[in-house]
């Protein structure tokens, strides 16, 4: 259990409460989502972010969508369910957990719709499935953390990029989950966090989270990673993932590929930590992973201050692909695998 709740289903209010990650670290503000549009906007605008957390939020978004349709007196049928899922699926293209969770909600809903059903029964069935997705997410990441401990030597100095902690999941975290488990095991680790331009998830979120968990952390700029490796300050790298292809190619926050190249050049282990729900076996390799491109102003501005000419052209991909050849191991809740062993996970 983390010292904060990224997302919470409020049972009496039948709404989803989200810790607004856009406002961290200066303000801890909770947004309460009561309708489908609010959930979709929260995912799209990064109020909630991180592949596992997006999946969990979307699952509860389906429940909210059905509640909204019932309250409006609309017909409740397979098309109603499909429209709700389509709206949520359109929010972000790269994180496979979003589509994995929505597929589970679709199957749960369709099973009920095929039989004689009561609208309240349908809502309760969907809520139960969303609760299962939440619980399985938390359990998987605890198991992942326990497996990951064996890769962490005592006193390890770990570099991470972006945020793959409790903020990006239901409660525990993937890459940061391994670090939390290592710290709890008395390994006395130290973390270096890349700032992660342009939206600064490393500096705003990862450092905030690790400080709350009392795990020593040092913030560095993105362009300092290779320098720190050359100076002997880093022992290994652990990152999360938004989608992993069948061959082990991994999509993660933009800049991850550069870190992996630097780790390879300095003979440092590079590990990916992700649940098996993040593996997309339908894609042979990373070339087929869709890469989200975001608003150019995220690059033209640093916070609210413009730092580039307003008219300058901007390329702003949110993710890049780290080839499997640069990845030493993938840590999952089923165990630790090299990329070429992923077929066994399937």
Q: Are strands 279-280 and 243-245 parallel, antiparallel or unpaired?
A: parallel
Buried b (16+ CB within 10 A) or exposed e, 42-75: bbeebbbbbbbbbbbbbbbbbbbbbbebeeeeee
DSSP bridge pairs for 250: 244, 322
Are the beta carbons of 47 and 31 closer than 8 angstroms? yes
Q: Please name which of 339, 276, 330, 341 lies closest in space to residue 148, comparing C-alpha atoms.
A: 330
- In this structure, the number of other CB atoms found within 10 A of the CB of residue 330 comes to 25
Exposed, middle or buried: residue 21 (CB in 10 Å: 0-12, 13-18, 19+)?
A: buried
- Among residues 137, 138, 222, 242, the one annotated as catalytic is 242
Task: Quote the CA–CA distance of 91 and 39 in Å, as a whole number.
Answer: 10
* 242 included as an active-site residue: yes
Q: Buried (b) or exposed (e) across 218-233, using 16+ Cβ within 10 A?
A: ebbebebbbebbeeeb
- Pair type for strands 305-306 and 301-302: antiparallel
Beta bridge partners of 279: 244
Catalytic residue list? 242
């Amino acid at each position: 259990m983390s010292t904060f709740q990224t997302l919470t289903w409020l049972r009496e209010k039948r709404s989803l409460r989200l810790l607004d990650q856009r406002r961290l670290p200066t303000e801890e503000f909770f947004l309460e989502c009561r309708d489908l549009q609010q959930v979709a906007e929260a995912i799209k605008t990064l109020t909630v972010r991180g592949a596992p957390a997006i999946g969990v939020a979307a699952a509860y978004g389906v429940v909210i969508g059905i509640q909204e349709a019932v309250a409006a007196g609309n017909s409740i049928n397979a098309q109603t369910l499909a429209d709700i899922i389509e709206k949520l699926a359109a929010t972000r293209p790269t994180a496979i957990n979003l589509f994995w969770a929505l597929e589970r909600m679709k199957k749960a809903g369709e099973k009920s719709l095929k039989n004689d059903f009561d609208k309240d029964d349908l809502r309760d069935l969907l809520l139960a499935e969303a609760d299962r997705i939440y619980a399985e997410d938390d359990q998987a990441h605890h198991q992942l953390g326990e497996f990951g401990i064996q890769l962490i030597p005592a006193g390890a100095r770990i570099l991470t990029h972006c945020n793959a902690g409790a903020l990006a999941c239901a409660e525990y975290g993937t890459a940061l989950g391994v670090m939390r488990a290592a710290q709890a095991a008395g390994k006395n680790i130290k973390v270096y966090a890349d700032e992660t331009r342009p939206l600064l998830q490393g500096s705003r979120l990862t450092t905030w989270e690790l400080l709350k968990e009392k795990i020593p952390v040092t913030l560095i700029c993105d362009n300092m990673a290779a320098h720190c490796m050359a100076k002997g300050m880093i022992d290994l790298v652990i990152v999360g993932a938004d989608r992993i292809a069948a061959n082990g190619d991994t999509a993660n926050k933009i800049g991850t590929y550069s870190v992996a190249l630097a780790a390879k050049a300095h003979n440092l282990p590079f590990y990916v930590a992700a649940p098996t729900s993040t593996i997309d076996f339908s894609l042979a390799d990373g070339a087929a992973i869709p890469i989200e491109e975001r608003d150019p102003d995220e690059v033209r501005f640093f916070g609210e201050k413009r730092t580039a000419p307003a008219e300058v052209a901007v390329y702003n991909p949110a993710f890049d692909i780290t080839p499997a050849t640069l990845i030493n191991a993938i840590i999952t809740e089923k165990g630790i695998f090299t990329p070429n062993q992923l077929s066994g996970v399937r």
